[in-house]
Chains A and B, each alone.
Chain A
Amino acid sequence: MLKTLGAHIREYKKASILTPIFMILEVLFEMIIPFLMASIIDKGIEAGNMGHIYKVGAFMVVAAFLGLLAGLLGGRYGAIASAGFAKNVRKAMYDNIQTFSFSNIDKFSTSGLVTRLTTDVTNLQNAYQMILRMCMRAPASLICAMCMAFYTNIRIASIYLIAVFLLGIVLFIIIKITMKYFNQVFKKYDKLNESVQENVSAIRVVKAYAREGHEKEKFDTAGGNIYKMFVKAESLIALNSPIMQFTVYTCILLISWIGANMIVGSSLTTGELTALLSYCMNILMSLMMLSMIFVMITLSIASAERIVEVLDEKADITNPENPVLEVTDGSVVFDHVNFRYKKDAEDYVLKDINLDIHTGETVGILGGTGSAKSSLVNLISRLYDVTDGQVKVGGRDVREYDIEVLRDEVSVVLQKNVLFSGTVLENLRWGDKNATREECIHACELACADEFISKMKDGYDTYIEQGGSNVSGGQKQRICIARALLKKPKILILDDSTSAVDTATDAKIRKAFAEEIPGTTKFIIAQRISSIEHCDRIIVMEDGMVDGFGTHKELLENNEIYHDIYESQMSGSGDFDEPGKE
């Protein structure tokens, strides 16, 4: 994990090295001060030497200012290093995500990826800064103070060594145990919040069944348990500061007693005693700081792990070595295709699919939700790879093509389609960067999108909000179709892309397709028979298998499922709210 992340420090290596160096320098200058103080007391005050006080005093001021300078520089480089590291990690993740195939994306889920790119990177950035600035400073401060203490007086310094050792062990044990508790309690806590979430989204069910009281009871029980666990965990943490104080106080008392004895016995000076007292505080404060850092790092490890998962993820669809750069025609062949989304999935999503589709043919696909219609067409542009068998486009296995070439020729209008924030034109030009305004308008005319775009206030320069929230579902679908058309593909796939378009417009779009792009192979997935009955051939999908393949007439005669759906839809049942369905 460290290796993966470390590789992204790159140009910020200098800053990453300078930060701890300056932090250590700051510590060193700080440590000199008590030492000089001892000299002021012993050689200045006790000896009545004013000049010495001035001289050493001046040194102390210089040391403090140098410390300040080192601290400021450390802060600056720390900021550069951590912000830069975060930038690099974020970029590396984003770039890697761009290579992800659909199944990689499915694995992480959209929201998972967003959290990793945002919150987790921020956590990592903070942790990195903490490590650079504090991880060096605290141990350095501990070691320096310890050395100075030993230099001043070995006997007393050994008291510190013992204290540090004992306190270190106790703190470590407390942290270990509480971390365990906290992990448990946080899991429970997440569960509790999940149940709140559930209540928020299912509030209508709760209220419809008048179950408010029941939910409250459930919540109170869970909340009560969490309370008990939190109290247990935090009670242990409550020991931290008294233990710390106990150690400090014991040290002070011991030093005072032994120190008094030694001064009286002339083996220690008053100045040295004060220096030792200062170092005592320094040592124990750094120890406390170390334990805090330890906790912080443990907490950010989870974030780091999630980030590394994304960085280490290998795209499972990559370009072949010598890719074919041209798709000759729009024929599609499915040859004994089996497909499942995950290798360890029990059932195949698609089972033994054999299809032979000619260039320029219009193919309708019908079937219930979960009958794997989308899965079928997603294989054509290699959004997923087949598990067995092969899919051929233009007579060649799709895995032989350069992916970009293939996807430019096989244009898919996805079921869950999105528009991006930007003008209508900008969105359309996703299909073809260099498309002229006229070409864009023509594509929109084909997709019946021009009729409403031209009526908009800013026409083709109308700004589309994120997710296309300022156009209706039907309008969004039509812009998406136009965008796909701009690719001038050899194969066009519409995955339930006109579900929110009214029947009349739907028919117009189909007519335009037939007249304007007759050479393009078209796949149309639809719920409504009326959308596909005019297709050259229709595939009926059921449960991942092809249940029927033929013309409308043929299927009506000898395919039971098709017949059933036709009966129920054509005899008028259909969907009563068809036209407005978003």
Chain B
Amino acid sequence: MPEQNSKPIKGPGRRGPMGPKPKIKNPGKLFVRLMKYILRYYTPHCIVVVACIIATVLSSVQGTMFIQTLIDDYIEPMTRSQNLDFGPLAERMFRVAVFYAVGVVTAYIQSRVMVNVSQGTLLRLREEMFSKMESLPIKYFDTHSHGDIMSMYTNDIDTLRQMISQSIPQFINSLITVVSVLACMMVLSVPLTVLTLVMVGVVMYLTKKLAGLSGSYFVAQQKDIGELNGYIEEMISGQKVVKVFCHEEESKEHFSEKNEKLYESAYQANQFANMLGPINAQVGNISYVFCAIAGGLLALNGVFDFTIGKLVSFLNFNRSFNMPISQISQQLNAVVMALAGADRIFALMDEQPETDDGYVELVNARENHDGTLTECEERTGIWAWKHFHKEENTTTYQRLEGEVVFDHVDFGYNDEKIILHDIEMYAKPGQKIAFVGATGAGKTTITNLINRFYDIQDGKIRYDGINVNKIKKKDLRQSLGVVLQDTHLFTGTVEENIRYGKLNASHEEVVNASKLANAHSFIKRLPDGYNTMLTGDGASLSQGQRQLLAIARAAIADPPALILDEATSSIDTRTEKLVQQGMDRLMGGRTTFVIAHRLSTVRNSDCIMVLEDGRIIERGTHDELIDRQGKYYQLYTGKTASDLV
């Protein structure tokens, strides 16, 4: 069967605009933090934006006010006086036009500057998230699902973009509009303003009622969506089994039930949500009508100095007052949504990075005649640990040999549950140490401790006599080549993938490493040879080929010590031999820790550690262990298991 994605990548659940509000502990504080984050680099930009918003709003308001002047001060007098001098009106209109022009320009400046602010902030946010992520300990990736991490880069960043580029400026715009329109309305007529405000109150009351009503339906809808999607995911993932058992009809039936249920709650929920629009618009219209009648009466009777011009202007303001009010609540909603995303992003940023208190560095060295070492730039094949002694202000060099000692090491992924107990181990330079034992016995875990993917609870690990905690992590890891059981390749050419082991390697070095790893012959046969593009974790290559590339990648790094995790999955016999050969060549002359599955690997080891339940229960060479007739003997001969047959 063709290789296929058996695990559907869990799409981070879409949060609809009316979904139940996410809970955030302290939205105010979070908002301030986000604003600070934006302002750190964009304070002048933001000042410009706010100034522009004010100018834009004022320009629009003065336009509406002008209509009153137009009617009351120009048209009405002119119709009455028969004085047809349009000069003053033209002059006045020119002034209005200039203000309008300013409004248009500031509107453009505002949106244009906002593009830089929002995209710039997001760029910085993404970069900081990524760089933070790279610095986190492996534990973080063990405890957070990849889907959750990814959704920060996609969903959360997207909602933030919405919020920064749209919701916040619109919110400010609405706020300023409301304030200035309110002021203008007050100037035109206090009683009508009161009437308008009463109607706004009615709208807000209705909105709140409806939101409460629809809220419960939205919760129901959310639940039904969750159930249906869960069912879809389970059944589609098991679709082949459904086929094999001819279970299609039952599956359809169950689906239909859940689908109907979702329909019920979905239409109920949407129905109420859809009501908000008409209510806002039409109650707005009713408010407009009431003001028109009341205003008409006022104007007719000339009470409070009210005129037709004022009425027309006021009615226009009434229109432009209702809109921002309903928008403000929408924007607030959007902000709360985005804050939930910001909360997760900031949580990532607040994670503790891998601690690295090491000071011992790994350097290339050259041996002097007297046997001492001198640091040098180029690769000499000799490495030295560079100690800097603070007290004496001196630097000493110690040759890298590849001796690794575990001294009473205890380890657990958390303090409560220790999974490796009192590990004692001694690897002399150039020795090959094999770990065998059942899955879960702790083989992989031990190798993860050597390069400090995890830190130990108790005991000491020494590398050439130096406590690994004192070695800079980067240098420690570069001194250890790793071929993991699951091969991960990166998007890029084959050559780039191999070069991952040594970034400045020449093409010749890449070819040599591939030859050593037995990868050269298959690479040559790829459509573009070393320049063949690999995507999707090298999906176009076979398992065996991917392993060969991983070996080549380790080979080019030419590390003094190696950690190998032999793949369990069987590959075809020919490739398997190639992989085996490549691994053997790679191990030659290096201290190697190998998690072994193949007999030949184990047999050639200098020392075999048999692990069970996180303890080393036997150790020794192959012959010694066979003689002992213990667990190793059992594993090796399969005796106890086959005795039962």
Contacts and interface: CB of A to CB of B under 8 A. Distances in A.
A249 B596 contact: no
Given A90-B259, A110-B239, A231 B119 contact: yes
Contacts of A106: 1-2, 4
A415 interface: yes
15 contacts: A41-B296, A67-B282, A68-B286, A75-B278, A110-B8, A118-B232, A119-B11, A205-B488, A211-B503, A369-B571, A375-B1, A418-B238, A431-B245, A576-B438, A576-B597
Interface string A360-391: 00000000111100110010010100000000
A551 interface: no
Nearest to A573: B599
Contact of A45 (B233, B308, B637): B308
A369 B491 contact: no
A270 B260 CA distance: 56
A342 B636 CA distance: 43
B130 A53 contact: no
Contacts of B598: 573
Contacts of A207: 138, 451, 453, 477
Given A277-B67, A368-B570, A574-B638, A580 B234 contact: no
A444 to B, nearest CB: 17
A508 to B, nearest CB: 8
Contacts of A230: 115, 119
A92 B568 CA distance: 43
A224 interface: yes
Contacts of A83: 262-263, 266-267, 270
Nearest to A49: B300
Contacts of B542: 370
Contacts of A256: 66-67, 70, 93
Contacts of A44: 296, 300
A210 B638 CA distance: 40
B597 A264 contact: no
Nearest to B146: A200
B347 interface: no
A57 interface: yes
A114 interface: yes
Contacts of B393: none
A183 interface: no
A94 B255 contact: yes
A27 B268 CA distance: 24
Contacts of A483: 245
Given A45-B300, A202-B488, A71 B282 contact: yes
Given A102-B243, A210-B473, A210-B478, A204 B453 contact: yes
A507 to B, nearest CB: 4
A76 interface: yes
A115 interface: yes
A84 B264 CA distance: 9
Interface string B573-604: 10010000000000000000000111110100
Interface string B294-317: 001101100000001001100110
A122 B14 contact: yes
A434 to B, nearest CB: 13
B179 interface: no
Interface stretch (B28-36, B106-114, B379-387, B506-514): B106-114
Contacts of B279: 68, 71-72
B285 A64 contact: yes
B616 interface: no
A198 B490 contact: yes
A575 interface: yes
A483 B267 CA distance: 40
Contact of A370 (B4, B262, B437, B572): B572
B240 A416 contact: yes
- Counting from the closest, the 8 A-B pairs by CB-CB distance are A71-B278, A573-B599, A75-B274, A202-B488, A111-B8, A238-B111, A79-B270, A68-B282
Contacts of A524: none
